Chains A and B, each alone.
Chain A
């Protein structure tokens, strides 16, 4: 109607305002509405039409303020006549309104101070809820919501391929159709000479244009120039602000010399950021070209996809391109293995993809805690308001309008919520301490801090909480006090108790969901506890190799290289070293699988690892029976093998009788016969602590071109990547070092994530339990207080303690029962989200549910203790006297 109304000429109005506005008009005095309602709608419709699409919200807001201001002035006094109360320019009469609000605030403060216990309890309860949800929001905000510090971060994509080399990168770039927005880089390590001694630094060789691609500028000095990237360029480096400040502390950095490994670099500039790509922090950047001259490594390609291109589509196109690049040599090198030729992932996925689901999960859990605390405060507020129903009824009788009473109660709620919100933000400020639990778990952790968005969030949450716990009960109370006579209001109502009981049911249900969730994760964590992996994690470094073919096609060449490397490392660094084809838990490359024949002729896979003499000792794996490998081992046709307990049990039913047994192991190159010389205690194999069959054979007998060297690297005598590279170069300069890291880093992903989650969820569920207990306590206390007279009569008539206890506990038992049922259903539905995070326990594990239910029952009983005690101690004479006096 409003649309065509405008075409009827200047006399025709813009029509009627939307239904919502008509509804809002009801706030105005009915006389005004009756007289001018239609015209007001007409004017509002004009305002909305003028505002256009973008101004709608503003127009609505002004329209709402207009109505509220007029309604308030009209109802709560304040003359329109200038001399008495000079109105504002826009005539909303806010002067009168403010003085009313000011009065409300003073009154509310006095009321709250009169009941300090109630006030403090509500503030703390709400503060804990707001704190939990704000803390998690701080993390989610820092890790997931804050934009990555690169220009066009959403289009930056990382291309990795074994077929990508410095030589053919131009072809890749052309195929990617990025218009040149691409750059090569690798990530390596080096040992820097600092004033405090040698330090392991993360070095990133970067190709031309990488800094421009991600939009970073130096804060001091200059970036790399074309000549730095050229073949004959002098060695130059950029350092991160943080690295330079912590390690050197002197400014300016530009122009100084930085020694990394055996090379001196001139520092030409400082970069401000300390996060990039896969690593949380980087220390030094050097030109890619000068680094590849020395190490001959490949690298990764960072590209900015053209606008409108998705990673999936680009990957599909590039996959066929990569497949075309496959050479016979490549096929031969990776024969028998499933080797992917291409991986493309957006930077965002790489950096936060792993934690995204976990963080949202924790955030949801904190939301539950907030809901619980708001419900709890609503519970308390309802109970509190009931004790004030007399006061409210009196004020209503003295002429206070309904809106006036609602406003009064809302102001009280607002005060409590604001105090709770401040407390919550203070609690959320502890987030960094919480994060210390998992230093390596969260990417972008440096971004986690209280910022304006977090504060805006906390404010919004606080106001939302006011709505839930303040305004609604207030409306309800005001409506009641208006309806009821003074006398009736003084009588204690039962309706409030019903509402509180419903809240208790919800609280118990929500608490059960959280407790079940945390119990499941705690079990996962207990299983994955890093203290019992069955091998040494600390003070061990790992270097990975993939020997180039065809030079190392000959097994004896491989064997010789590995032996020389171990000897050379032991000589140069004094560290113990041993070789293995695969480490536990790494799963970084396809592991070799041997098949064995079971007695009934079927073949199953076992984890097969060829290890050098000394590996089992270096890894501190425990031998249960027999012996480990020795330098001279066995007859040529029989391979000595060591099996773990699980393998021994699967193959021969018992670990004791495995020694001396023989079995055929089918490897890629053929079958060998193995004879068991030792049995090992089970250790983590591939998937963590779940027992898996493992078979070890001497590397000397069954060498493989892909292997890792484990090094004993202690703090006093650390082995650096540089040491390994030197040792390798002395033996064969053509062999690249594939990777170097500490054993702890390799296993961190398996152990850190559940620890972090269970710690956080543990805190959240402890809060939830506390809140549920508070809720039960409040309801029971209320009930006992309300039924004091009835209980008194019962006691006077000879009721025993037992029947009184049954009366009091019966109610809470009923509520708990319903709450547990509802909670179980909700937990069954929601813990399925946890499935991928769980290990060694199913989301619907009955034992866990039972335990959680018992924990909740105990909590409820503890909460019920004091009210029950009071009920049992009721003095019949006094209760009767008191109730008569009332």
Chain B
């Protein structure tokens, strides 16, 4: 892929919702409706409303961080949904974002915002 030459840091910082979408998709392909449910299940975030979510999804697709994948169609309802998965580039960007966030957490610990026990120091 030609994108491998790009620097993932150009995509940082990520919007929190975009990062969360990536995180959900890291555990396997999914569609928008389930992504929302998963995000809201994992963390108190939201409620997420449709227009904003799908604009983010489309934007992530435009930036080739996620892509549409085909799964075996089950019910008619499932066929209408577009299943999404993280691209290799998306994985890199997510990793860079995670590292950025980790650095931030480290700084927060140094500033005694958080307890240092169990830290990565």
- Mark A residues whose CB is within 8 Å of B: 11-13, 25, 28, 31-32, 35-36, 38-44, 46-47, 50, 62-63, 65-67, 69-71, 73-74, 80-83, 87, 89-92
Contact = CB atoms under 8 A, between A and B. Distances in A.
Contacts of B36: 43, 46
Interface in B1-28: 11-18
Contact of B58 (A35, A46, A71, A82): A35
Contacts of B78: 11
A695 B115 CA distance: 103
B32 A43 contact: yes
B52 A90 contact: yes
Contact of A69 (B17, B48, B52, B82): B52
B39 to A, nearest CB: 12
Nearest to B60: A80
B49 A39 contact: no
B33 A80 contact: no
Contacts of A83: 13
Contact of B82 (A36, A50, A80): A36
A89 B16 contact: yes
Interface string B26-55: 000001110010000000000111111111
Contact of B13 (A12, A46, A47, A82): A82
Closest 7 CB pairs between A and B?
A66-B49, A40-B50, A36-B54, A70-B51, A43-B50, A66-B51, A67-B51
A66 B52 contact: yes
A70 B33 contact: no
A32 B18 CA distance: 17
B15 A80 contact: yes
B81 interface: yes
A351 to B, nearest CB: 48
A716 to B, nearest CB: 77
Given A82-B13, A87-B15, A36 B58 contact: yes
Contacts of A42: 33
Contacts of B12: 82
24 contacts: A11-B74, A11-B77, A11-B78, A12-B75, A12-B77, A13-B77, A39-B33, A39-B81, A40-B54, A43-B32, A43-B48, A46-B33, A50-B47, A66-B49, A66-B51, A71-B51, A73-B55, A80-B15, A80-B56, A82-B12, A87-B15, A91-B16, A91-B52, A92-B52
A80 B14 CA distance: 10
Contacts of A92: 52
Contacts of A13: 33, 77
B96 interface: no
A12 B47 CA distance: 20
A42 B49 CA distance: 11
A839 to B, nearest CB: 61
A39 B52 contact: no
Given A11-B75, A39-B31, A91-B15, A44 B55 contact: no
Contacts of B59: 80
Given A31-B58, A39-B82, A66-B52, 14 more contacts: A11-B75, A25-B51, A28-B51, A36-B58, A39-B32, A40-B51, A41-B50, A43-B36, A43-B53, A46-B33, A47-B49, A63-B49, A80-B59, A91-B15
Contacts of A66: 49-52
Interface string B52-77: 11111111000000000000001101
Contacts of A89: 16
B112 interface: no
Nearest to A86: B13
A647 B43 CA distance: 93
B121 interface: no
Contacts of A70: 51-52, 55
A36 B51 CA distance: 9
B55 A74 contact: yes
Contacts of B51: 25, 28, 32, 40, 66-67, 69-71
A42 B18 CA distance: 20
A62 B36 CA distance: 16
B50 A63 contact: yes
Nearest to B59: A80
A230 B58 CA distance: 84
A42 B54 CA distance: 12
A40 B36 CA distance: 11
B67 to A, nearest CB: 14
B121 to A, nearest CB: 28
**Residue of A44, A50, A73, A80 contacting most chain B CB atoms (<10 Å):** A80
Nearest to B36: A43
A661 B38 CA distance: 106
A91 B50 contact: no
A484 B12 CA distance: 45
Most buried by A among B14, B31, B53, B82: B53
A660 to B, nearest CB: 97
Contacts of B15: 80, 82, 87, 91
A367 B7 CA distance: 65
B58 to A, nearest CB: 6
Contact of B56 (A11, A38, A74, A91): A91
A321 B15 CA distance: 78
A141 B56 CA distance: 48
A87 B13 CA distance: 11
A534 to B, nearest CB: 75
Interface in B93-120: none
Chain A CB within 10 A, most for which of B16, B36, B52: B52
A87 B17 CA distance: 11
A28 B49 CA distance: 14
Contacts of B47: 47, 50, 62
A43 to B, nearest CB: 4
A55 to B, nearest CB: 10
A69 B74 CA distance: 34
B33 A32 contact: no
A13 B75 CA distance: 11
Contacts of B18: 91
